[in-house]
Structure 1
Amino acid sequence: MSIDRSRKADRALAPYAVDERQSRGRLVPEAPSPTRSLYARDRDRILHSTAFRRLTHKTQVFIYHEGDHYRTRLTHSLEVAQIARSMARTLHVDEDLAEALALAHDLGHPPFGHAGERALDAAMRDEGGFDHNAQSLRVVTELERKYARFDGLNLAWETLEGLVKHNGPLLASSPDRPLPQPVLTFCTKQGLALDTHASVEAQLAALADDIAYNNHDIDDGYRAGLFTFAELAEVPLAGRALAEVQSAYPGLDGTRALYETTRRLITALIDDAVADTRRRLQDLSPISAHDVRHAGGPVVSFSAAMSRDLDGLRAFLVARVYRHARIARVMGDAERVVADLFGLYRMRPDALPPEWREQAPAKGYPRYVCDFIAGMTDRYALAEHRRLFDATPELR
């Protein structure tokens, strides 16, 4: 007896949800799984990928050795996935696709977060630059090499589309900033309709990313002593949540008060996003995922009032966390570590580890070096720097 794996068949999905029965398929055709949906299979491949495991030692905001309780790219991705799946269930769209996209969205991040990205982008300026979203696409379409029949993970078209376009259509902003070359190169093999929006599921993953990082950066920033409750009380959105907690639980200690605040904030953001998305979907009245892609704008969003408050919270985090002197100093040192490694590997291929040295191409060598460094964890990058240089920053 055959099993109908369709999410539309399993539960009542909305007409605007992605329907796997109408999928554009995989670049390399594969027989369907008898037990898992198309997108559940993609999610599992992402979870089992080497790149996903490496996220456990890649920086979110704080370097891994600063404390065991700070978020890493891995724990961040898991939090994003939980929020995305929860909202997908509420809005009756494909949970497996939303979760897969949430888990994959940071696979292309280099060591040391955005500091590493800045260093690689500068080093690759004459080679097309570096963009972590484009690198995520390279990871899942080329750099993961474990399957016998293909490079990458051979994900479904809708998963690749959502990974590339979860923040909106990809359009060249100016002649000086063209579209990332890795994206354009892949699209010669399998076009991803870069000029349209992505599915509701992809848009939910993007919004879940915003919800997760704003809240866990409050948590991590407070634990690191970068601001006080008195300062947080003056911030839009977070201040209201904190006031509720202090009113309901006078004298509550710092850690518990912090968690009670962020959980209220997460709930408020999710409830607002779901309500505004429902309003937008009602106005659009889409009868398919195609209608969502061609809506002319995002259908998943916060309300205007919530967006203004969230902008205020982001401004606070930029000033008090991301640009804090302590963080800026560590990230400056981290940027130099990545730049040093790139410069040395480019000039001396013999400095690469044996397995990478033996496979180094005659053409496209700078991108090859970039791929190697982008795949590093924080601790491996530091270990390589210590191996190759006389002095290595402590990053503390």
Structure 2
Amino acid sequence: MNQSIKALRGEELLAAMDEKLADYAVKNKDYTPSSRIMEEELIKDDTRTPFQHDRDRIIHSRAFRRLKGKTQVFQANLGDHYRTRLSHTLEVAQMSRSIARVFRLNEDLTEAIALGHDLGHPPFGHAAERKLNHILRGKDKKEICPYDIGGFRHNVNSLKVVDFFERYHGNFPGLNLTNWTREGILKHTSLIDKDYKERVFDTTLDISTLHPEVDTPCFLEGQVVALCDEIAQVTHDLEDAFRAKMMSVNSSKLLDIDIYRQAYEIAQTEKLKNDIDEYNLRVRLIRNLIRLLINDAVSATEENIKIFNPGRPVNEPIRARLVVLKQTASQVEKLKKVLDETMYDSYEVARMDIKGDLCVEKLFEAYYKEPARMPDYVFRKYNDALEVFSKKIQEKPKVTLCRENLHKKIEDIKKEKHLNEIFLHTIAEHIAGMTDQFAFNEYRQLFLP
């Protein structure tokens, strides 16, 4: 018998989607116009949920497209098959949706957070992130930044990308994402600076609606992405290390780790059974490792939800980390240690990290000493940040910048502490937006004959 076909739109669509969700999931009906920085009413007869709008705005952003040119561990010019920041992002999204579906969480919200979580990551992997952090902590290039102005972490910068740097609306900056997506992006990794044991901060960011007192996402969808980011990073960095021949699949250091040995033994059994080659052995090994880790995460999370959920008021923020590894948590730390010793500190990776470090340092110094070397849109970013800060302190914006007044105004900016802080952050954010190749080209144009 043929069923009548009826397309769901607007409130009917939201209700149908919410009906499938667990009571502890973020509901589409929880959305109100004030769920975004600038109020947005739901569109009548809309064919997308509010979180699908978030996802789509992220996918169509320029920052998302640039992820394909940013290093994960190995720079892209070393081979076509090493992970980039974009492929890592897609892998995190895939894992996150898989776990979200198991617990009947909001998959659209989970996917939006996963796709946006690394939009603010600098080029050259974590080397550039560390360099920018040292500069903005007043530890490197003290003649430029002699004091601590909050440091730099990619999760904070990712929030700035979606709040300020992208342009979706004509009359205000940013993508105007929902607060759930914004909080998930901000807290997918710690807000505590590991190098200096202090919280990263930025005076131009308004995080008052994102539960700033809690360092973990206050809803399960955000916590799922945070854990999947860690799982994807460890397992896929390991696969890239095999590809680069920095370690072998039967390394004694790895086989001493229970979870890895289990995955290896399953892969070896499959190899004998199906007569597969070494490449497919690696693929199956990593696939098994991911499956074992995700199964542990699902089991541990299920236990935590059972304890936490009964009697919990609807929409109350979750202030504890429920999405975790349990049996394998210590083993993942051992895997990270092996990667540190064998891959991250290796000659091949270290020399590229140092090259990226030098490139970032020199670009920062050049832009600060001669701001005219930066394009006009950087001055617009500075003015947007200044306007937000001025509203916060209830003053009129001071010393807005454009190319025409640059030589007259820049010294005034550098003399006033708050203005200089905003300017320094703007330079860091400009560099963080670059792809590896763009940064190298900038360096060549500025410093090579």
After superposition, the C-alpha distances for 1:321-344 in whole angstroms (9 at most, x for unaligned) are 111122112101110110011011
Structure 2, unpaired ranges of 5+: 1-8, 138-146, 380-401, 414-418
Say whether the 8 Å CA contact 1:60–1:112 is kept in structure 2: yes
Indicate how the Cα distance of structure 1 residues 155 and 355 shifts in structure 2: closer, same or farther if over 3 A, else same. closer
| Structure label with greater radius of gyration | 2
Tell me whether 29-38 or 274-283 shows the greater mean CA deviation.
29-38
Mapped to 1, the partners of 2:199 and 2:364 lie a distance apart of 23
Mapped to 2, the partners of 1:167 and 1:379 lie a distance apart of 26
* Equivalent position of 2:204 in the other structure: 185
Say whether the 8 Å CA contact 1:215–1:266 is kept in structure 2: yes
Mapped to 1, the partners of 2:152 and 2:192 lie a distance apart of 16
Higher relative contact order (CA 8 A, sep 6+): 1
What secondary structure does 1:162 align onto? helix
* Equivalent position of 1:158 in the other structure: 180
1:134 aligned onto 2:156: yes
Shift in Å, 1:29: 1.2
* Equivalent position of 1:320 in the other structure: 342
Shift in Å, 1:316: 1.2
Q: How does 1:29-178 map to 2 (within 5 A)?
A: 29-33=39-43, 34-125=46-137, 126=147, 127-167=149-189, 178=198
* Equivalent position of 2:318 in the other structure: 293
Say whether the 8 Å CA contact 1:246–1:252 is kept in structure 2: no
Q: Count the aligned residue pairs.
A: 384
Letter in 2 for 1:46: I
Mapped to 2, the partners of 1:128 and 1:151 lie a distance apart of 23
Mapped to 1, the partners of 2:314 and 2:172 lie a distance apart of 29
Say whether the 8 Å CA contact 2:378–2:426 is kept in structure 1: no
Letter in 2 for 1:21: K
* Equivalent position of 1:266 in the other structure: 290
After superposition, the C-alpha distances for 1:146-202 in whole angstroms (9 at most, x for unaligned) are 42132111011111122222346x57999x7553332x53227x5321123421000
Indicate how the Cα distance of structure 1 residues 322 and 11 shifts in structure 2: closer, same or farther if over 3 A, else same. farther
Mapped to 2, the partners of 1:355 and 1:30 lie a distance apart of 26
1:244 aligned onto 2:266: yes
* Equivalent position of 1:18 in the other structure: 26
* Equivalent position of 1:394 in the other structure: none
Structure 1, unpaired ranges of 5+: 392-396
After superposition, the C-alpha distances for 1:8-31 in whole angstroms (9 at most, x for unaligned) are 645421111012322351111112
Indicate how the Cα distance of structure 1 residues 301 and 150 shifts in structure 2: closer, same or farther if over 3 A, else same. same
Mapped to 1, the partners of 2:176 and 2:376 lie a distance apart of 28
What secondary structure does 1:195 align onto? coil
Letter in 1 for 2:240: D
Mapped to 1, the partners of 2:83 and 2:59 lie a distance apart of 18
Say whether the 8 Å CA contact 1:199–1:289 is kept in structure 2: no
Letter in 2 for 1:88: A
Shift in Å, 1:117: 0.6
* Equivalent position of 1:278 in the other structure: 302
Letter in 1 for 2:244: A
Say whether the 8 Å CA contact 1:18–1:289 is kept in structure 2: no
Say whether the 8 Å CA contact 2:58–2:112 is kept in structure 1: yes
Say whether the 8 Å CA contact 1:51–1:144 is kept in structure 2: yes
Letter in 2 for 1:384: E
Letter in 1 for 2:87: T
Tell me whether 314-323 or 86-95 shows the greater mean CA deviation.
314-323
Indicate how the Cα distance of structure 1 residues 325 and 173 shifts in structure 2: closer, same or farther if over 3 A, else same. closer
TM-score by length of 2: 0.80
